[in-house]
Amino acid sequence: MNNVQYSAPITKRENVLALIGFILSFFVAIAGLICSIIAYKNYKEDNSIGGKNFAIAGIAISAATLGLTLLIIIIWVPLVGCTAASIVGSV
């Protein structure tokens, strides 16, 4: 008989901040971006923790959401201003 000993698999500790940043990126983009960047920085400093993919996804989703929000604001504000001016000017 072989006397083989099996050990438990090595698992990475999970980076909770990466998961929080990922979830926040859908609701509060700036908070999700900040949490995800901090989580990714923590991953780069200590490779024994997980969460790299959640952090990257949180950064990407937050950045896209913030970019679209900014684009909508840049387009919407002048349109509302022109509409308000035309309404006031016609009275």
pLDDT of residue 11: 72
Domain limits, the chain: 16-90
Using CA atoms, how far residue 34 sits from 5, 37, 39, 63, 81, in Å, is 45, 5, 9, 10, 32
In this predicted structure, the answer to whether residue 10 has a pLDDT above a threshold of 80 is no
pLDDT of residue 66: 96
Instruction: Give me the half-sphere count of Cα atoms (radius 13 Å) on the Cβ side of residue 79.
Output: 6
In this predicted structure, the answer to whether residue 5 has a pLDDT above a threshold of 90 is no
pLDDT tens, residue by residue, 23-61: 999 999 999 999 999 999 999 998 888 889 999 999 999
pLDDT tens, residue by residue, 64-75: 999 999 999 998
Give the rounded distance of the alpha carbon of 84 from its chain centre: 36
